[in-house]
Each structure stands twice: as C-alpha cells, then as structure tokens.
Amino acid sequence: MSSKLIAPSILAADFANLQRDIEMVNQSEADWFHIDIMDGVFVPNISFGMPVLKAITKHAKKTIDVHLMIVDPDRYIKTFAELGSTILTVHYEACTHLHRTLQAIKAEGMKAGVALNPHTNINLLEDTINDIDLVCVMSVNPGFGGQSFIENTYTKIKQLRELILKKGASTLIEIDGGVTSINAKKLIDTGADVLVAGSFVFKSKNPLETIKELKTIANS
C-alpha cells in the first residue's frame, strides 16, 4: 500500500516569516505544500496571489499542491503552471465546464484536482472521476483556517472511495480542514490518502514534531 501523505497548509504559516516556515516544511516529514489561493469572491477571504506563490516555489523543495478557491479559474491555469504548481485543484462549484478545465490543467503538465464544498455531492463526479488525479474533500466551509471539522466528511470519503473503485480510477482523496492527530487515523482508515493540516501544524509548539506525529499516525 502506498504511503499516506501529509500536506501542511501554508495559509496557516507566519507570513512575516514565510521563508522560515517553508524551510521547516522542507526539513520535515511532510510530503506536499498545500497552498490556498482565494479571491474574496468565491470565498469570503483573500489569501495571497502570484507574487507570494512565486516566492514560495523559489524555496519549496516538495510537491506544490495549489488549491484555487476562485471564480473562473481557467483564466489562470497557464500562469499557475509557469509558477511551478505540481497539482492544480479547482472547485467543482466554480467550473461551468469542468471536463474542459481538467483537460486544460493536464495540457499544461500539471496534475488535475477537484475540490468539493461540504454541501456538494460526491456523485456529481461520476462522469469525470477518471480524469481527476485528486479530489479535495472540504471538511470545513472554505475561506478561513482554524475551523472545526464537519463529521459528515467520513460519509463522503466512503462514497468517494466506492466511486473510485467502481470506475477503476486512480484518484487520490485529500481532506482539507480541521485535521488533527485525533481524527487523522479515522480519516485514513475511511479511505483518505492525503491530509492537509494548517493551524494544527503551524500553531503547535513544535511544528516539525507535529508533522512527524501526523505522518506516523497516517501510516500506522
């Protein structure tokens, strides 16, 4: 069985010491950098844009997992590829022509991800799951860090795992929001492959140890 992955969410990092926090993730047992791009329209918050992402990718030495919480993401697919994104995730709710968007992401040499808000049903991906490399299941309402975990997420993971198996897809399941050492094991056991952790990592006394703990739990 392949190793389960940990993706610290840079939204929770200390922006005044961004390079320090990036180096910490580089040195840690984390697998990916999870980077949230928000436009203040699709979600009620503005995070950071291209110049900050460029600064992050300059120092980051691991997979760059970019999560676009923006309207009309097609406008920027090429730009995010040029900035060094490994995986580009768009929201199902923001894409009128999801299949076309997925093809455009892959045409730029990136892996294609789709994020689902808590209210969005898994079955809506039935016709596209074989084109999707990663499904990001939002386990909080997107827009802000530090929110509490929505319990219905476990049901969605089960449904998604069943859909992936039924269609013979190789899609990874990523969980984003409210992940801690308390729910990590249950999330993995239910079918998750990648755990995004923001506040839990960066607000802890020893982020390196916290990442190590999550990685150990996820692969135990």
Which residues are tagged catalytic? 36, 176
Cα-only R_g, the chain: 16
> At a CB cut-off of 8 Å and minimum separation 6, what does 122 contact?
116, 156, 159, 160, 163
Q: Which residues, in sequence order, are CB contacts of 142 under 8 Å at separation 6+? A: 38, 43, 69, 91, 115, 117, 176, 177
Strands 134-138 vs 87-91: parallel, antiparallel or unpaired: unpaired
